[in-house]
Amino acid sequence: MGAADMHVKKIGVLGAGQMGHGIAQVAAQSGYDVVLRDVEQRFVDKGLDGIRRNLGRQVEKGKLAKDVADAAIARVHGTTDLKALADCDLVVEAIVEDLDIKKKVWQELDAIVKPGAVFATNTSSIPITLLAAQTKRRAKFLGMHFFNPVPVMKLVELIRGVETDAATVQLVTDVGAKMGKTVVEVNDYPGFVSNRVLMPMINEAIFAVHEGVATAKAVDDVMKLGMNHPMGPLELADFIGLDTCLAILDVLYEGFKDPKYRPCPLLVKKVQAGHLGRKSGKGFYEYGGEGKIGV
C-alpha cells in the first residue's frame, strides 16, 4: 500500500443511487468514514437500506462477520446537507448524468469542501476536464469510474484530466487499492477506454440484428460461446439500459465527430418506443415472470 492515502480518513459520496450507495459501501468496508449525501431524505434512506441489505446478505452467506458488517454501516453517515462534506479528504460524485446539475454541484462543493481535499467524479461520459474547470482545484480533480455492481466489479478506471497532478493520481490509486479494486489509468477522451471499446461493439451487434444478419440470441451466443464473453452484447445492452447506451454513443459521435460512432437506427427506435431493456421489461429480450425471452 502506498503512503499517499494515509491522510484520507473521510470520504464524501454524493448521490445515494445505484452507484453512490455501492461506493459508500466499499469505502466503509475499507475502513473509511463516509458521508453519503443525496437531495432528499428518502433517497438517502434507500441508499442506506441498500448497503444494509448487501452487507446482510454477505453475513447470511457466512462471508462476513456480523460485527464487521455492523461496524461498516456505522461508519456511513447519511445526510441531505451538502455542508456535511466540508471536512472530507476525498469527495466522489455519483449523481445523475446531467451536465448542468453536475457543473452546479461541483461549483458548490468547491466553495464548501476544505481546500486540500481531492475531487473525483464517477461520470460515464462527461469530460473530466470540463467538470474540473468548474473548480479552483483542477490539479486535484479526476475521474474515478466504478462499475456496476460496485462491491463486485474489480475495476476502477482512473481518468486524468488535462491538469490532474501526479500526487492526486497516486492518492486515488492508493484509495482504490485499499477498496480492493484494480485501478487502471487513462486519459480524458470521449468514452475514456471502457465505453469507447464497449459501445461500438454493442452498436455493431445491434446493426447485425437491424440488417437481419442474425437474431439477438444468435449474436449473443456467438460472442458468449466463441469469444468467451460472460454476457452477449445485446444482453449487456439491456442490462446497462438502451437509453444509456444511446446517450454514450451520442457522446462518442459528437466528441470525435466521426461517423463510425453513429448509433444504429434500431437502437434509436427502441429508445423512442420506451423499450429500454431490463428496467422497462423489454429491450432486445423480454423480462417477465418466466425469465428472459428472446424477442
Strand partners, 40: none
Q: Which of residues 139-168 bind ligand NAD (CB under 6 A)?
A: 145-148
Closer residue to ligand NAD (CB): 43 or 284: 43
Strand partners, 118: 90
Contact 150, 26 (CB under 8 A): yes
Q: Does 41 bind ligand NAD (CB under 6 A)?
A: no
Q: Is 145 a catalytic residue?
A: yes
* Cα–Cα separations (whole angstroms), residue 228 to 32, 132, 196, 211, 221: 37, 38, 20, 24, 10
Q: Does 123 bind ligand NAD (CB under 6 A)?
A: yes
Contact 238, 285 (CB under 8 A): yes
Shortest distance (Å) from residue 160 CB to ligand NAD: 17
Single residue of 33, 38, 235, 243 touching ligand NAD by CB under 6 A: 38
Single residue of 39, 193, 222, 266 touching ligand NAD by CB under 6 A: 39
**Among residues 21, 93, 122, 145, which one is catalytic?**
145
Q: Does 24 bind ligand NAD (CB under 6 A)?
A: no
Helix (H, G, I), strand (E, B) or coil at 142: strand
Rounded Cα–Cα distance for residues 15 and 192 (Å): 22
Contact 284, 202 (CB under 8 A): no
Closer residue to ligand NAD (CB): 4 or 199: 199
Single residue of 25, 124, 164, 173 touching ligand NAD by CB under 6 A: 124
215 contacts: CB under 8 Å, gap ≥ 6: 209, 294
Q: Does 173 bind ligand NAD (CB under 6 A)?
A: no
Region of 8-16, 201-209, 230-238, 254-262 interacting with ligand NAD (CB under 6 A): 8-16
Binding map of ligand NAD across residues 73-112, x = CB under 6 A, - = no contact: ---------------------xxxx---x---x-------
Q: Is 124 a catalytic residue?
A: yes
Q: Does 18 bind ligand NAD (CB under 6 A)?
A: yes
**Among residues 30, 195, 203, 275, which one is catalytic?**
195
**Among residues 30, 54, 122, 124, which one is catalytic?**
124
Rounded Cα–Cα distance for residues 55 and 293 (Å): 32
Q: Is 157 a catalytic residue?
A: yes
Rounded Cα–Cα distance for residues 271 and 255 (Å): 21
Rounded Cα–Cα distance for residues 197 and 135 (Å): 30
Active-site residue list: 124, 145, 157, 195
